[in-house]
Amino acid sequence: MKTPKRYLCPWDYMADPSVHVWDGRLYIYPSHDWEPADFVENDNGDHFNMKDYHVLSLEGDPMTAEVVDHGKVLDVADIPWAGRQLWDCEVARKDGKYYMYFPLKDRNDIFRLGVAISDKPEGPFVPQPDPVRGSYSIDYAVFEEDGVYYLYFGGLWGGQLQRYQDNKALESAYLPEGKEPALPSRVVRLSDDMLGFAEDPRPVVILDKEGKPLTADNPYRFFEASWMHKYNGKYYLSYSTGDTHYLCHAIGDSPYGPFTYAGVIMTPVVGWTTHHSIVEYNGKWWLFHHDSVPSGGKTWLRSLKVCELTYDENGVINPIEGLDE
């Protein structure tokens, strides 16, 4: 049976949802897709023309509640060090402040992590003057536990993760192949002021059932779009496999991992891949994601969706079919 899904903002193209529940209201922080002026589709993602952020919110049943668009809350023109391509964002709350984490290419076309701050979850957000020192790559997700904030990040190909090893830039990018261990995402504890790293980023290792790292030729290895949530005392790392087009999850006993591969969350959607968040709201679990059906399959013009997510008796997420037809 197909899982019912809902398009959240059919009036605009938005994607890469980061979702949080604050004070009983659900807030969605998406990227914002625009038709590119100069179209060049390639593995670097040059066809993605994202240049600002909106905030959406709702209260009630995510399948039926009114979605409020709070308008533009940050523009690439507001960021002093900006080059181009304001990709996915994430927001965390601490001590009454809201911290937006965003990847943006600097003027050398290198992705860095920027931070912008607001007094309200719906923004607007004021950017810091410089990127975070030692930052790189894309797809940031924040997980908080007991006052400690962990930042997960990393994306291959256009996300530039293959350009780094041991947190240092390589002279030549390197992508593992075949039976080599797959390139992992990263996790780092944020500093107390939420504006930097409190430690060196660590690899997020995903193991198979035999306790060996997933290999580069495994269709379920990490590619991009990390997310972290906790369920029944376990830590759930979820992620996109990119060029094999799945959403998958792995389960561990620590926010640092390692994580053991547990299965597919969502099969391929219309569009190159999807990017997601998993949150509990009003007694149910929800998967926020995107596809490219409304744009006729244009991978650079994506639309936000939501559906209910469930677990089996062993705590494994039940797979959801990505296609609605």
Q: Which residues of 195-205 are buried (b: 16+ CB within 10 A; e: fewer)?
A: ebbeeebebbb
Return the ∠ at Cα 92 (arms to 74 and 154), rounded to 5°: 80
Instruction: Write phi, then psi, for 29 (nearest 5 degrees).
Output: -115, 95
**What architecture is the 5-167+178-309 domain classified under in CATH?**
5 Propeller (2.115)
* Per-residue pLDDT, 1: 63
- Alpha-carbon distance of 124 to 209, in angstroms, equals 45
Q: Which one, of 296, 308, 182, 305, lies nearest residue 241 by Cα?
A: 182
* Per-residue pLDDT, 138: 95
* Per-residue pLDDT, 50: 82
* Per-residue pLDDT, 44: 67
In sequence order, the 6+-apart residues with CB closer than 8 A to the CB of 104 are 76, 79, 81, 82, 83, 84, 85, 86, 87, 111, 112, 114, 131
- Residues annotated as catalytic are 16, 224
Domain boundaries, the chain: 5-167+178-309
Contact 234, 257 (CB under 8 A): no
* Per-residue pLDDT, 2: 86
Rounded to two decimals, what is the model's pTM? 0.96
Number of H helices, E strands in the chain: 0, 25
Contact 33, 17 (CB under 8 A): no
Chain segment 114-147, per-residue pLDDT in tens: 999 999 999 999 999 999 999 999 999 999 999 9
* Per-residue pLDDT, 42: 63
Write out residues in the chain with pLDDT < 50, as ranges.
none
- Alpha-carbon distance of 163 to 157, in angstroms, equals 9
